[in-house]
Amino acid sequence: MEFLRKDPERFWKVRLFDELGFERKKCTKCGKYFWTLTEQEVCNDSSCRDYEFIGDPPAKRKLGYFEVWERVSKFFVERGHAVLKRFPVVCRWFPLYFTIAGIVDFYRMSNGSLDFEFPANPSVVNQVCLRFNDIPNVGINSKSYTCFGMINQQSLYDGKEGYWKDECIELDFELLTKVLKIPPEEIVFIEDAWFGANAFGACLEYHVRGLELGNAVFTQFVGTPESFREMDKKVIDMGAGWERLTWITQGTPTSYECVFGPVVEKLKEACGVEYDEELFLRYAKLSGKLNVDEVDDIFSVKRKIAEKLGVDVETLEKNIEPLQAIFSIADHARALLFALSDGGIISNVGGGYNLRVILRRALSFIDKYSWGVKLEDVIAWHAEYLRKMFPELEENLEHVVRMVEVEEERYRKSKERGKRLVEKFVKENRVPSEEELMKLYDSEGITPEQLVEAGLKIEIPPKFYARITELHMREKEKRDKLEFDVSNVAPTEILFYEAPEIFDFEAKVVKVFPEGWVVLDKTAFYPESGGQACDKGMIGGREVLDVQKVGGVILHKVDGELKEGGVVECHVDRERRERLKKHHTATHILNAASRMVLGKHVFQHSAFKEEGKARLDITHYQALSEEEVERIEKLANEIVAKGYEIVVEVMPRGEAEQKYGFNVYQGGPIAEKTLRIVSIDDIDHEACCGTHCRNTREVGIIHILRTKRIADGVVRIEFCAGDVAREMLERSKKIVESVCSELGVSSEQLPEKVEEIFEKWKSLRKEVKKLRKVAMVGRRGNERR
């Protein structure tokens, strides 16, 4: 910031300011610098002004939620911008759980650093985003949402193509004044800066009557303020709040009322909420300044508002809090709808945990006021209202509702268990430590608020939910990486993709590392990657124990020593490769079949393909029923029998995403600009480096051995395919045959016979128990005597 501050004219002044006569001023209240057309001494930030548009919007015309986007997108299209379809809220293309901002759509990793990839230039997108860092303020200050639309305008500027800050601010100013019809003198631009992980630049926020409507970031430098250089291609990243643009034109008491359409009214009616409208209106105007954070916990915020409104805390609680709860429920329901519909899953780790927190928060509001409304219904109301712009939400509604029901059941059960614990705490008047509070929340589902309500005098630790969520975000990454310096070794020539039929070859040993690791000039040995175990075989008469890839170099660990520079005979174990190949292709087929049977939320969590069996871990919210397993297996074998061709394409990352969607990242985001896409007809497209059959028929047969819910939100499917499956089925057939001959029945009669034997065994066991009891009573009788 210091560096930018030295030259404000260079970094913040734009052409528009000169042309229209904007003046630079320092806010007498907060000390920030801002640009205005008026004589005002105070900036328009919410900390310096109340929400002065409530009941008196500066815009000439009220615009509906959808209408705002219709007009904004039309405006940008007429000025040469492409309109992009929204990206999923579950972020598959970059190492983030959720799409937290519009610009994230264009974040990509390339060789360990952040890259921007724009499918068109310039463009706009109305990106639905999820953020969980501000949950306590949702429902309170009208600015905070866990789920919101960010209208993003982006341009990549290299001096020729795209545009830079002058044009950006001119466009945004025109949008505000001509499309939203906000008078120019109402608009204030506040100077600020944006610092990313490895990039930064100045930004101009635009505020109207206490509400920030948008922020235009001029990403100009790579590096940090200590060490940086100007980018060859600078990035305009302007994000405006869809909800806020709607609100400023309508001036309703809260933004929630004009954003959630009929949902708020339906909720109010279903819950029978009554409140003092005049008091609420006065509260709403103040609410922009409310911020529950480290300094102000919810209780002190409450006290402050009550004081300002000239009422006691009790009146405030009675009149305002039920409405805040309604808004929170509406927000959380909408976030769940988007997240679950886009493939998110509720669980105990990572982003799934955020979803659990908001679901439980919504339910606890419903419980607190004993409202007769169902969260699933609120979700369905949203889907219906949003159908116009997001028809996909209704298509997935059935699965979303099912997921919420399952999770709600879990919540109820753990709450029932927790009730007794809460009573115990209250009875003993024991104050739990923060750690204990976290444990209570995690393992018993007891919220600190519940303890307070039950009468325990405790302070809820500030940022309790943020802290607990963070704990769950830290995912463990084990796996030792090979540490070899291969910087001076040429990349290995790879044979297994182009010529998968080569199993015997001659190669030169170009490098030898300690412990038997060797590098060849070319190889047909597939290294362990993409969840596929490595090939084995012989190199120069030595057994191959392991094969790994480091950068472009393939390393083979052999049993014994080989000489650098020598030429060696190599043989890949063909049978093993064939089995691995079938197991790998079967994994893709099973993944697709699971998605078709269980729903679109199914995603590969991880997979491992060995010679004798394979496993696929999928994201799913509960254990699989026998019937579901049967259906998945049947469908998978139908895909095999159809004989679909398996096609491999190598293409640019952006093109693959456009063509096949973000489900290609089944193995996680890939930090390479070129992807290898493996397609099975139009059933499955995955970015994958493995070896595959050329036709699904080659897989032979897929047999599911067992399935198990191995973690919250993860189900493991163990299976085998091809010869391995056939041998296994034959073995079980033999077992059945021998049992049948032992019992003297046919295989059709076997289930009945087993049932009969089982019943007999059960009644015998009963008999034995009875006899034992009699014997015991008899013995006790003897003892007493």
List contacts with Zn ion (CB under 5 A): 27, 29-30, 43, 45, 48, 688, 690
3-state SS of 499-543 is CCCCCEEEEEEEEEEHHHEEEECEECCCCCECCECCCCEEECCEE
The tally of CA atoms less than 13 A away on the side-chain side of residue 747 is: 7
The verdict on whether omega for the bond into residue 183 sits within 30 degrees of 0, i.e. cis, is no
Closest contact distance (angstroms) between CB of 690 and Zn ion is 4
Query: In this structure, are strands 493-494 and 522-523 parallel, antiparallel, or unpaired?
Result: parallel
Nearer to Zn ion, 288 or 448 (CB): 288
Closest contact distance (angstroms) between CB of 590 and Zn ion is 11
Nearer to Zn ion, 422 or 688 (CB): 688
Query: Do 190 and 237 meet the contact criterion of CB atoms below 8 Å apart?
Result: no
Closest contact distance (angstroms) between CB of 666 and Zn ion is 7
Nearer to Zn ion, 30 or 623 (CB): 30
Closest contact distance (angstroms) between CB of 41 and Zn ion is 9
**CA 709 remoteness from chain centre:** 20
Nearer to Zn ion, 27 or 359 (CB): 27
Report how far residue 470's alpha carbon sits from residue 133's, in angstroms, rounded to the nearest whole number.
10
Closest contact distance (angstroms) between CB of 477 and Zn ion is 20
Closest contact distance (angstroms) between CB of 193 and Zn ion is 16
Burial of 474 (0-12, 13-18, 19+ CB in 10 A): exposed
Burial of 9 (0-12, 13-18, 19+ CB in 10 A): exposed
Nearer to Zn ion, 44 or 127 (CB): 44
Nearer to Zn ion, 27 or 699 (CB): 27
Report how far residue 239's alpha carbon sits from residue 258's, in angstroms, rounded to the nearest whole number.
20
> Which pair of structure tokens corresponds to residue 579?
């089995």
Closest contact distance (angstroms) between CB of 207 and Zn ion is 9
Nearer to Zn ion, 45 or 342 (CB): 45
**CA 224 remoteness from chain centre:** 28
Query: Do 348 and 711 meet the contact criterion of CB atoms below 8 Å apart?
Result: yes
Closest contact distance (angstroms) between CB of 584 and Zn ion is 6
Report how far residue 574's alpha carbon sits from residue 723's, in angstroms, rounded to the nearest whole number.
14
Closest contact distance (angstroms) between CB of 692 and Zn ion is 7
Closest contact distance (angstroms) between CB of 524 and Zn ion is 19
Instruction: Name the β-bridge partners of 577.
Output: none
Report how far residue 286's alpha carbon sits from residue 280's, in angstroms, rounded to the nearest whole number.
10
Nearer to Zn ion, 267 or 589 (CB): 589
Report how far residue 558's alpha carbon sits from residue 553's, in angstroms, rounded to the nearest whole number.
16
Nearer to Zn ion, 444 or 611 (CB): 611
The phi and psi torsions of 108 (rounded to 5 degrees) equal: -140, 155
Report how far residue 752's alpha carbon sits from residue 65's, in angstroms, rounded to the nearest whole number.
64
The phi and psi torsions of 703 (rounded to 5 degrees) equal: -125, 120
Closest contact distance (angstroms) between CB of 16 and Zn ion is 21
Closest contact distance (angstroms) between CB of 681 and Zn ion is 16
Query: CB neighbours of 225 closer than 8 A, spacing ≥ 6?
Result: 1, 2, 3, 195, 200
Nearer to Zn ion, 48 or 602 (CB): 48
In 3D, which of 481, 714, 721, 500 has the Cα closest to residue 589?
Answer: 721
Nearer to Zn ion, 40 or 121 (CB): 40
The phi and psi torsions of 662 (rounded to 5 degrees) equal: -85, -5
In 3D, which of 364, 350, 352, 346 has the Cα closest to residue 403?
Answer: 346
Report how far residue 93's alpha carbon sits from residue 107's, in angstroms, rounded to the nearest whole number.
8
Closest contact distance (angstroms) between CB of 596 and Zn ion is 18
Query: Do 150 and 243 meet the contact criterion of CB atoms below 8 Å apart?
Result: no
Nearer to Zn ion, 353 or 644 (CB): 644
Question: What would the DSSP string read from start to end of 150-217?
Answer: EEEEEEEESSSSS--HHHHHHHHHHIIIIIS---GGGEEEEEEEEE-SSEEEEEEEEEETTEEEEEEE
Burial of 298 (0-12, 13-18, 19+ CB in 10 A): middle
Nearer to Zn ion, 30 or 771 (CB): 30
Report how far residue 518's alpha carbon sits from residue 360's, in angstroms, rounded to the nearest whole number.
55
Closest contact distance (angstroms) between CB of 578 and Zn ion is 16
Nearer to Zn ion, 27 or 702 (CB): 27
